[in-house]
Chain A
């Protein structure tokens, strides 16, 4: 059974119990809720009257259960009326727009303008008190909230591709509204339903309390609270029981509808949002490594894990590569290859679920000392971020704060000193922003995508970093703008002396354009590493070869596709991870996981058969 369904059991059981008690009230051996017994006035709980007796000596337990029938039926009936009418108005207005929208949604908005209590009082005064009037007036009162919600949800859902797809299939409006839109806008409406039942119960109690709802002597929770108020000081328990019933029922209803919404979401339980990046806990051990040979960046045996339902799962396994000063290494792979996580691990920032299991990331800083970033305390690592190590992300539109002028955002990366803005302008000029002075005072929304990416690059190089991590920096850009950004990065490599770059991408053609060395990743492992020109002309791993062949270039009539898909992190093949999709696989490949072995100067592959295939 799904987890979300299991979580539904408790509130559903409680709600069922409440409803059952209310329904079964006439069958239970209860005292007559309206029979008065002046002798037992305000009596405390006893064996015969479990919750005591009220100001007329009536049985409180019996009145609570009979009152539940009234309160619940009024609230449920009113909410169902409101939900049906409101949803209908909202969904029609949202789908058809124009005239229908004017009639339905705007009308509902007029009703929303009145204070609810006042409107209810007005209706009840006009029609006279009683349960029937109450249902009608509460229904009218709550319908507009449903209408506005359904309208807003319909507006956002009707623009989605799967609704357009239904239109393209030739479905009529009725079919689209009922089968496609309604189920998909239901979750917020269900939550609204629970909130409305709860407020209807409270409002019913309030109106009854004012003498405008249920007519005495019929029991209702509102009337009971009203009656108990007069004797509050002599018998405080009398006030407590109806309040408990009211609050308890409302809470159970809210919980039930919340869980129901989760249970109706087919994607529930599949991960959840990635959340903030945070510092992965530093591994134990000394960070300073005197024995290591200095280089700019050397990663060895990096393994990152997430905790799956069946124990830890390695999403990045035994990854190693190195970057020399002034050189660019491209990390290339498809989605799920672990290339982005590897890049983030260097910055010491990982999504909450990911843990560093083992490995080392050796970085040689300006003073010549080599430190292991995985073992460096956060304070020292923070001192490196933004100065020695900096990063450019994929989506330039979401990485700038829309409420700050871009000049001040870039200035934040610089140390506080006079002339900071002059340095920002100089940086903007360096990254080729037109009108750098004017741009420094501009807001992010005034810039195009390519210009925003230039701003992000300006911030990243503000402190002359020694290592720049670029995570798919051109993927969100148009081709002609991509060419500009690639040229800018190539130019920076020349002007920023000795700056190394790790360029994460899925695009082999971009790799050929920008990188000196390439590490090809597949399913969390580096499968091949070497100089770009060599790897592309003579790949030594079947995956690299297949990826090159699958790239739509050249004159071949038919693209050679790689069959199948990347395996899921928790269902990795036992041997070589590429074996199930590999055209060159032999039985041995499925049994032993090949190590990354050196096959020549600066080249390595993770294939058992590389010699035969070469």
Chain B
């Protein structure tokens, strides 16, 4: 079903998200305002060993989507299917057992580690929770994981504050890898890091992916990093997917006006930005525009764009890509 997968990636999807939506707020005893729709009707699938990049600006719902896929937030509607099992239908115990196989790496390496417990104990948590090892076995595995992520086994005894940001992100990755998961959600894992350290972590993730056959959902606002790491890309704007397809194709010829604007606005050392920047800012999620969410800033918007949300349809010239734009055929 997935024509985009590079060779070596199995075609059977490991994970599917079907029509996922999530809203926050609203309702309540006193009906406090309208609900905020953070993610609206997102479909996605991820094959074993595949890396999918999710790209967008603040408020586009990319972080919420990552948490929905791991069922850390229950979806308001839609469902997540992991190897044929719908996560929302699973009893709590079975869901917890399944968590062994799907993990998360967070953006802020300072907030994602418990400041009061040694890093070794935190890396071993997953092993002990899922009874994959006894105390001695866990210690050996922690040492192995620390080595695998470029740290020293002796570091296990230390507390998180004794490490730099890059080292902490390695620890967080080691913790996520401990239970040998099949799928990892990485939510902006390099955004808080310096450029030189960022490259170390991106390379580490790329290596781990090829060594361990991990499927990766890589959430980022940095298009250059996504291009380095991912097979496929999903561009989101205000809770909706506006374009998706193979990373190479989208970066070479972005089709949606938003993807184009995003690529043009990204500063580059080699090609200074020449295009006029996109006007305005991302509208509030609490009060999205009618029709296409991007129409208020879109240089190609027409009157019909305000009427209805364009469906996500195949790219007129390339059936493996999809985009949601009423004017796709004219602009292609």
User: Are the CB atoms of A480 and B277 closer together than 8 Å?
Assistant: yes
Task: Tell me how many residue pairs across A and B have CB atoms closer than 8 Å.
Answer: 185
User: Are the CB atoms of B96 and A170 closer together than 8 Å?
Assistant: yes
Q: Determine which of A168, A266, A434, A509 lies in contact with B72 in the assembled complex, contact meaning CB atoms within 8 Å.
A: A168
Q: Which of A127-135, A158-166, A208-216, A367-375 contacts B (4 or more CB under 8 A)?
A: A158-166
In the complex, chain B residues whose CB is within 8 Å of the CB of A551: 195, 199, 224, 269
Q: A334-B196, A451-B281, A506-B194 are in contact. Are A536 and B269 (CB under 8 A)?
A: yes
Q: Which of B4-12, B15-23, B113-121, B138-146 contacts A (4 or more CB under 8 A)?
A: B113-121
- The distance in angstroms between the C-alpha atoms of A322 and B222, with both chains bound, is 32
User: Are the CB atoms of B196 and A546 closer together than 8 Å?
Assistant: yes
Distance (whole angstroms) from the CB of B216 to the closest CB of chain A: 15
User: Are the CB atoms of A513 and B114 closer together than 8 Å?
Assistant: no
CB-based nearest A residue for B263: A479
In the complex, chain A residues whose CB is within 8 Å of the CB of B278: 480, 483-484
User: Are the CB atoms of A550 and B206 closer together than 8 Å?
Assistant: no
Distance (whole angstroms) from the CB of A438 to the closest CB of chain B: 16
Q: Which of B32-40, B45-53, B83-91, B100-108 contacts A (4 or more CB under 8 A)?
A: B100-108
Asked whether any CB of chain B lies closer than 8 Å to the CB of A612, the reply is no
Binary contact readout B258-274 vs A (1 if CB under 8 angstroms, 0 otherwise) = 00011011111110110
Q: A480-B57, A513-B272 are in contact. Are A270 and B161 (CB under 8 A)?
A: yes
Q: Which of A291-299, A423-431, A559-567 contacts B (4 or more CB under 8 A)?
A: A559-567
Asked whether any CB of chain B lies closer than 8 Å to the CB of A123, the reply is no
User: Are the CB atoms of A478 and B96 closer together than 8 Å?
Assistant: no
In the complex, chain A residues whose CB is within 8 Å of the CB of B67: 164
- The distance in angstroms between the C-alpha atoms of A546 and B222, with both chains bound, is 20
In the complex, chain B residues whose CB is within 8 Å of the CB of A353: none
Q: A483-B273, A506-B194 are in contact. Are A168 and B99 (CB under 8 A)?
A: yes
Q: What is the total number of residues of chain A having a CB less than 8 Å from a CB of chain B?
A: 62
CB-based nearest B residue for A180: B114
Asked whether any CB of chain B lies closer than 8 Å to the CB of A195, the reply is no
User: Are the CB atoms of B262 and A161 closer together than 8 Å?
Assistant: no
Asked whether any CB of chain B lies closer than 8 Å to the CB of A21, the reply is no
User: Are the CB atoms of B273 and A168 closer together than 8 Å?
Assistant: no
Asked whether any CB of chain A lies closer than 8 Å to the CB of B225, the reply is yes
In the complex, chain B residues whose CB is within 8 Å of the CB of A171: 96, 125, 129
Distance (whole angstroms) from the CB of A488 to the closest CB of chain B: 9
User: Are the CB atoms of A547 and B196 closer together than 8 Å?
Assistant: yes
User: Are the CB atoms of B126 and A481 closer together than 8 Å?
Assistant: no
Asked whether any CB of chain B lies closer than 8 Å to the CB of A394, the reply is no
Asked whether any CB of chain A lies closer than 8 Å to the CB of B200, the reply is yes
User: Are the CB atoms of A266 and B116 closer together than 8 Å?
Assistant: yes
Asked whether any CB of chain A lies closer than 8 Å to the CB of B58, the reply is yes
Q: Determine which of A167, A180, A509 lies in contact with B268 in the assembled complex, contact meaning CB atoms within 8 Å.
A: A509
Distance (whole angstroms) from the CB of B157 to the closest CB of chain A: 13
- The distance in angstroms between the C-alpha atoms of A264 and B117, with both chains bound, is 11
Distance (whole angstroms) from the CB of B128 to the closest CB of chain A: 9
Asked whether any CB of chain B lies closer than 8 Å to the CB of A486, the reply is yes
User: Are the CB atoms of A561 and B104 closer together than 8 Å?
Assistant: no
- The distance in angstroms between the C-alpha atoms of A507 and B272, with both chains bound, is 13
Asked whether any CB of chain A lies closer than 8 Å to the CB of B301, the reply is no
CB-based nearest A residue for B192: A335
Asked whether any CB of chain B lies closer than 8 Å to the CB of A465, the reply is no
In the complex, chain A residues whose CB is within 8 Å of the CB of B166: 565
- The distance in angstroms between the C-alpha atoms of A184 and B225, with both chains bound, is 34
- The distance in angstroms between the C-alpha atoms of A566 and B125, with both chains bound, is 30
- The distance in angstroms between the C-alpha atoms of A166 and B67, with both chains bound, is 13
- The distance in angstroms between the C-alpha atoms of A566 and B202, with both chains bound, is 18
In the complex, chain A residues whose CB is within 8 Å of the CB of B262: 479-480
- The distance in angstroms between the C-alpha atoms of A529 and B51, with both chains bound, is 39
Query: Which parts of A168-206 form the interface with B (CB within 8 Å)?
Result: 168-172, 175, 179-180, 183-184
In the complex, chain A residues whose CB is within 8 Å of the CB of B148: none
Chain A facing B: main interface SS? helix
Q: A165-B112, A165-B175 are in contact. Are A553 and B221 (CB under 8 A)?
A: no
Q: A552-B227, A558-B206 are in contact. Are A509 and B267 (CB under 8 A)?
A: yes
Asked whether any CB of chain B lies closer than 8 Å to the CB of A4, the reply is no
Q: A184-B114, A478-B282 are in contact. Are A169 and B106 (CB under 8 A)?
A: no
Query: Which parts of A112-167 form the interface with B (CB within 8 Å)?
Result: 160-162, 164-167
Sorting the interface of chain B by its residue count into under 10, 10 to 19, 20 to 34 or 35 or more gives 35 or more
User: Are the CB atoms of B199 and A487 closer together than 8 Å?
Assistant: no
User: Are the CB atoms of B202 and A479 closer together than 8 Å?
Assistant: no
Asked whether any CB of chain B lies closer than 8 Å to the CB of A482, the reply is yes
- The distance in angstroms between the C-alpha atoms of A206 and B323, with both chains bound, is 75
- The distance in angstroms between the C-alpha atoms of A508 and B196, with both chains bound, is 12
User: Are the CB atoms of B196 and A161 closer together than 8 Å?
Assistant: no
Asked whether any CB of chain B lies closer than 8 Å to the CB of A512, the reply is yes
Asked whether any CB of chain A lies closer than 8 Å to the CB of B304, the reply is no
Asked whether any CB of chain A lies closer than 8 Å to the CB of B320, the reply is no
User: Are the CB atoms of A170 and B100 closer together than 8 Å?
Assistant: yes
CB-based nearest A residue for B266: A479
In the complex, chain B residues whose CB is within 8 Å of the CB of A449: 281
Interface centre among A264, A449, A482, A550 (most CB of B within 10 A): A550
In the complex, chain A residues whose CB is within 8 Å of the CB of B273: 483, 486, 513
User: Are the CB atoms of A161 and B108 closer together than 8 Å?
Assistant: yes
Asked whether any CB of chain A lies closer than 8 Å to the CB of B235, the reply is no
User: Are the CB atoms of B115 and A478 closer together than 8 Å?
Assistant: no
In the complex, chain B residues whose CB is within 8 Å of the CB of A169: 99, 103, 125-126, 129, 175, 179
- The distance in angstroms between the C-alpha atoms of A487 and B167, with both chains bound, is 36
Asked whether any CB of chain A lies closer than 8 Å to the CB of B314, the reply is no
Distance (whole angstroms) from the CB of B261 to the closest CB of chain A: 6
Query: Which parts of A433-451 form the interface with B (CB within 8 Å)?
Result: 434, 448-451
CB-based nearest A residue for B105: A165
Asked whether any CB of chain A lies closer than 8 Å to the CB of B228, the reply is yes
In the complex, chain B residues whose CB is within 8 Å of the CB of A451: 281
- The distance in angstroms between the C-alpha atoms of A26 and B107, with both chains bound, is 60
User: Are the CB atoms of B111 and A554 closer together than 8 Å?
Assistant: no
In the complex, chain B residues whose CB is within 8 Å of the CB of A6: none
User: Are the CB atoms of A512 and B267 closer together than 8 Å?
Assistant: yes
User: Are the CB atoms of A484 and B277 closer together than 8 Å?
Assistant: yes
CB-based nearest B residue for A555: B227
Q: Determine which of A166, A184, A550 lies in contact with B199 in the assembled complex, contact meaning CB atoms within 8 Å.
A: A550
Distance (whole angstroms) from the CB of A67 to the closest CB of chain B: 39
In the complex, chain B residues whose CB is within 8 Å of the CB of A508: 195, 269
CB-based nearest B residue for A546: B196
User: Are the CB atoms of A478 and B267 closer together than 8 Å?
Assistant: no
User: Are the CB atoms of B199 and A450 closer together than 8 Å?
Assistant: no
User: Are the CB atoms of B164 and A565 closer together than 8 Å?
Assistant: yes
Asked whether any CB of chain B lies closer than 8 Å to the CB of A548, the reply is yes
In the complex, chain B residues whose CB is within 8 Å of the CB of A563: 200
User: Are the CB atoms of A450 and B268 closer together than 8 Å?
Assistant: no
Asked whether any CB of chain B lies closer than 8 Å to the CB of A510, the reply is yes
User: Are the CB atoms of B96 and A172 closer together than 8 Å?
Assistant: yes
Asked whether any CB of chain B lies closer than 8 Å to the CB of A267, the reply is yes
Q: Determine which of B96, B113, B282, B297 lies in contact with A162 in the assembled complex, contact meaning CB atoms within 8 Å.
A: B113
User: Are the CB atoms of A560 and B268 closer together than 8 Å?
Assistant: no
- The distance in angstroms between the C-alpha atoms of A168 and B178, with both chains bound, is 12
Asked whether any CB of chain A lies closer than 8 Å to the CB of B147, the reply is no
Interface centre among A167, A451, A486, A547 (most CB of B within 10 A): A167
User: Are the CB atoms of B268 and A479 closer together than 8 Å?
Assistant: no
6 A–B pairs (Cβ distance < 8 Å), ordered by A? A164-B72, A479-B265, A547-B196, A550-B199, A559-B199, A562-B196
Given pairs A161-B108, A170-B126, A565-B197, 12 additional interface contacts (CB within 8 A): A162-B112, A179-B117, A335-B194, A479-B223, A479-B262, A480-B297, A507-B195, A513-B273, A536-B269, A547-B196, A550-B195, A552-B225
The 3 closest A-B pairs by CB, nearest first: A170-B99, A509-B267, A483-B277
- Interface of A with B (CB < 8 Å)? 160-162, 164-172, 175, 179-180, 183-184, 264, 266-267, 270, 334-335, 434, 448-451, 478-484, 486-487, 506-513, 536, 546-548, 550-554, 558-563, 565-566
